[in-house]
Amino acid sequence: MQYSEIQSVKQRYAIIGNSELLNRAIDIAVQVAATDLSVLITGESGVGKETFPQIIHQYSHRKHGPYIPVNCGAIPEGTIDSELFGHEKGSFTGATGDRKGYFEVADGGTIFLDEVGELPLSTQVRLLRVLETGEFIKVGSSKIQKTNVRVVAATNLVMKQAIRDGRFREDLFYRLNTVPIYVPPLRERKEDVVLLFRKFASDFADKYRMPPVRLTDEAKAMLTNYYWHGNIRQLKNITEQISVIEQQREITPQLLKTYLPNEDVERLPALFASHVDQKTFSSEREILYQVLFDMKKDMNELKKLVHEIMSGQHPVAPQFADPADFILKREADLKESPYLHHAAPYPGDDDDLTYQVAEEFDEVETTPHPTSLEEMEKQMIRKTLEKHRGRRKAAAEELKISERTLYRKIKEYGIE
């Protein structure tokens, strides 16, 4: 596909950027549009995945047919089969009449399944049948119906991990992933960050009837090198805040810094500062890192002391007649350290770090750790629910999963 054609697509769908990865994603979307192959769009939240199904639909022979976007994560598990495939009158409580599902309504067109990784396993079986045979059965019916629908799906999950965890069917993944399209995060499109800021600033200037904000060269560099966890959505939100709040229209690094969340600490595997004040820690995770490194420091000092005693380079305390007694006393002191009794275990990478520190001295007793991924997940869900006093919505937001997925996990693990 020629560069001019890609630019035409960008102009039509208001896509800003010249990144090679972005151009590649647009190119694939246009090329595959002429076929009826299933497409799976992957990328982080906030990168703009919802634009690509529209491109595929409008550049296909189905462009005059219906286009139906469906957010699978927003539909309750108990009604999602009815929403997608329809139901017969009386098939369940509240079914007062027949209802057409999205696959029946979208016949001859395109259906976009956003957050497809959130589909229940039972619904995944139904979806697989539609993809393979074009057939489906309404809830409460025994009649097989046919549909001619192009399926485009999107997810921000790591699908290979979801398959390993048993949350997504492998056969469905390969059926959806006939043509994969990867939408890059903003940190992989550094050359587009300033362009996007300028576009958003201009839009908000028109919306709020004020001069657009401008960045100094130093502020541009800061904006470009920021991590952007929320991608384009986060950049747009920050641009709007600056446009509305700041009276000074030239934005310096000092001003910009007040709007950028300090995420540098979250990205580091540990804290290495030698004089970190405890009050500066913003989370229990950071406190755990500090505790573990204090433990490592104590153990290293003990190892050095043992080596000096055994080599005759260190005078043994007078109250110990035998160097071995002195060593045992130091070991006992270390085991009594509060760091070994107050370092709460975390699942995932923190477990590896705990074991890594423990390996520095084989005799140190560590807090027991979960023996499986399921047990770690169960512990994390229980702790988060306790933290939020059983409020599932708040717990789901902290765990970065949908409320429906959290409910399913609670039932699966039998969490009270």
Q: What is the pLDDT of residues 293-310, one digit of tens each?
A: 667 777 777 777 766 666
Top-level class of domain 189-261: mainly alpha
Structure tokens at 88: 């017969």
Q: Taking the domains of the chain in order of start, what are their residue ranges?
A: 3-184, 189-261, 278-358, 373-413
Angstrom distance (rounded) from CA 411 to CA 416:
9
Q: Are 93 and 381 within 8 A, CB to CB?
A: no
List CB contacts of 39: < 8 A, sequence separation 6 or more: 29, 32, 52, 53, 56, 151, 152, 153, 176, 178, 179, 180, 181
Hey, what are 389's tokens? 């006093």
Lowest-pLDDT choice from 8-22, 149-163, 270-284: 270-284
The predicted model gives 233-242 an average pLDDT of: 96
Residue 374 has pLDDT above 90, yes or no: no
Bridge partners for 42 per DSSP: 155, 182
- Out of 1.10.1740, 1.10.10, 1.20.950, 1.10.760, which CATH number does the structure's domain 373-413 have? 1.10.10
Of 60, 59, 55, 31, the residue nearest 148 (C-alpha): 60
pLDDT for res 141:
92
CATH of 3-184, picked from 3.40.50.300, 3.40.50.720, 3.20.20.70, 3.40.50.80, is: 3.40.50.300
Lowest mean pLDDT among 83-87, 194-198, 409-413: 409-413
> Phi-psi bin for 304: left (phi > 0), alpha (psi -120 to 50), beta?
alpha
Q: Which residues are 135's β-sheet partners?
A: 146
Give the Cα separation of 12 and 25 in Å (integer).
Answer: 16
Number of H helices, E strands in the chain: 20, 9
